Structure 1
Amino acid sequence: MSWLARWRAWREQRLIDRHPIPEALWQATLARYPFLPDAPRLRAMTSLFLATREFHGAGGLVVTDAMAVAVAAQACLPVMHLGLGAYGPTRGIVMHPGEVLAPREDVDEHGVVHQWEEPLAGEAMPGGPLMLTWDAVDWQDDGGPVFNVVIHEFVHLIDLGNGESDGLPPLPSAEASRAWLEGLTAAWDRFADRVAHREPSCIDDYGTEALDEFFAVAAEAFFVDPEALRAEDPALHQQLADYFQPA
């Protein structure tokens, strides 16, 4: 290990030590989100996340310690192997109490401008900040497809690591990138076929919108209900396991 790597590790450990998560708060978070493992690495990364990110409440929302830990722990789950650097330069998390209506504009092929408002539970943007709504974060499973807005939006940040949101995260070689896209596109096609035939799926059908959205919703299922995803699409589960390498 180089001196720079040792210095970074020392600095990170100091930040973790300075921002301990109280035992009662950590256990309450695990109870509320039972898919989170009670792993020392996750707890340490959650502390580091809290020490290096800024939470801002909007719309009258006051972000409590419990809210911040809930978001941070879920955000750290996809990067337990990749490291927080996979999230790029984003440091701010803006939290609203409920659904946000975002103004949208598009110009069609005839040059006509269309404007509308899109309801959002979360949004990731290059460079940040990342937006979340607390009612979506605090949502509980109703037995349908997996829904986890924190994992969804933070996986979009990983996706943006190569410059755009396209379903392709940063990978070590062109060959690895080609293999990733081939595997993910094939899984997307299988998923679209399930949706078209109205077959049940643990993946939210929002994933049919685009390959980057499929990557995000598939990751939601992978981390929240991995056995359901493995049963539904073993190849997709394996591809995500090889990439995320969860502890």
Structure 2
Amino acid sequence: MLSARVLATIFSIVVSAIAVGILTYPFWVKLRHDRLIAKPFPKHWLDIIESNIAIYRYLSVEQQQQLQGSIQIFLKEKQFIGCLGLQVTEEMKVTIAAIACLLLFSDRKTYFPNLRSILIYPHAYIVNETVMSDRYVVEERRVARLGESWTKDQLILSWEQVSQDLLNWQDGHNVILHEFAHQLDQEDGKAEGVPILSRKLDYAVWAKVMTAEYLQLCDQVERNQRTVMDSYGATNPAEFFAVATETFFEKPKQLNQKHQSLYELLQRHYRLDPLQWH
């Protein structure tokens, strides 16, 4: 039988090992990411990006290299699943990864950590949606969706919609940007239109600008006025952030002209200036 002193020593070693593991885990994650970034970027992946991502050629060489590194990490860590018989191709994976990683130029160096699986449907998919009417009557209805982001570990996309978005980079609609903006928003476990920001001081500015812009859109939609952003952004603050992100990348000139404070806020957050691309 082990003595009390030996048991105490073993316990101390185990606790120390656990503590060291917890403290160094981010180090090992960074090391793995650095190794992936250092790998040569496959030529056929680059061909896919240059063919499908219209704005890629407008990025600086440094930005292109950073995007390529993010794509390598993304494709290594995320699982792609085809639904309704869809065969997921390498082109689908690389295209989705490239557009999603446009949202990752911040200095936080996280790569959608909650996301594990990306489900791809060939076209719009049908879900059962439970809603409560004005008279507190619960109703269930079937609705068609083009994409969806879950707070746990999954994201869903319609490849038909993705393909349409690739042909229309200036219409303000991009299902990949929309759903992955939700992923940023949901990273802290809540969907409220506030992604994790780099500094605590940024939250006050974010709340001020986003609240004012969201209320303005709600008012414009209620008055049936024309808006730069899609009216779906008036649904709630989470959808407003996702729609604003789409508009920022696809209609930067219009957004900057009509909503300069919002444009500048998103420019600081994403560390990109799409005005230079159009």
TM-score, normalization: structure 2? 0.78
Gaps of 5+ in 2: 1-22, 274-278
Q: CA distance change for structure 1 residues 42 and 79 in 2, over 3 Å: closer, same or farther?
A: same
Determine which structure has more spread, i.e. the larger CA radius of gyration: 2
* Distance of 2:138 and 2:30 partners within structure 1: 51
Specify which of 208, 213, 228 is matched with residue 234 of structure 2. Answer: 208
- 1:96 to 2:121 alignment: yes
Pairing of 1:86-165 with structure 2 (within 5 A):
87-108=112-133, 110-140=135-165, 145-165=171-191
Q: Which of 32, 36, 59 in structure 2 is aligned with 1:15?
A: 36
Do 2:171 and 2:250's aligned partners in 1 also have CA atoms closer than 8 Å? no
Higher relative contact order by CA 8 Å / sep ≥ 6: 1 or 2? 1
Q: In the alignment, residue 134 of structure 1 is paired with which amino acid? A: W
Offset of 1:224 from its aligned partner? 2.7
Cα distance between partner residues in 1 of 2:27 and 2:141: 51
Question: AA paired with 1:182?
Answer: K
For residues 68 and 139 of structure 1, the distance between their equivalents in structure 2, rounded to whole angstroms, comes to 16
Secondary structure at 2:153 match in 1: coil
Q: Which of the residues 49, 52, 55 maps onto 1:29?
A: 49
Which of 215, 228, 238 pairs up with 2:264? 238
Structure 2: how far apart are the matches of 1:4 and 1:143? 39
CA RMSD of aligned residues (A): 2.6
Cα deviation digits, residues 5-43 of structure 1 (max 9, x gap): 66443311323456x543243233233221233611001
Residues 64-86 of structure 1, C-alpha deviations (whole Å, 9 max, x = no match): 00100000011111112255626
Partner of 1:62: 87
What's the counterpart of residue 199 of structure 1? 226
1:167 paired residue number: 193
Of 221-230 and 92-101, deviating more is 221-230
* 1:101–1:117 Cα contact (<8 Å) kept: yes
Per-residue deviation at 1:132?
Answer: 0.6
How far 1:171 sits from its partner (Å)? 3.4
Name whichever of 55-64 and 191-200 sits farther off: 191-200
Equivalent residue pairs, number: 244
Change (3 A) 1:110 1:226: closer
Q: Is contact 1:54-1:92 (8 Å) kept? A: yes
Check the 8 A contact 1:61/1:97 in 2, yes or no: yes
Matched, 1:75 2:93: no
Q: Is the 8 A contact 1:35 1:224 kept in 2?
A: no
- Rounded to whole Å, the distance in 2 between the matches of 1:6 and 1:173 is 21
Evaluate the alpha carbon distance shift between residue 112 and residue 42 of structure 1 in structure 2; reply closer, same or farther with a 3 A threshold. same
* Residue in structure 2 matching 1:227, options 253, 256, 272: 253
Rounded Cα–Cα distance in structure 2 between residues aligned with 1:221 and 1:164: 23
Contact 2:37 2:72 in 1 (8 A): yes
Deviation string, structure 1 residues 142-169 (Cα, Å, up to 9, x no partner)? 5874111111111111111232111122
Q: How far apart are the structure 1 equivalents of 2:170 and 2:97?
A: 25
Q: Write the letter of the residue equivalent to 1:11.
A: R
Long gaps (5+) in structure 1? none
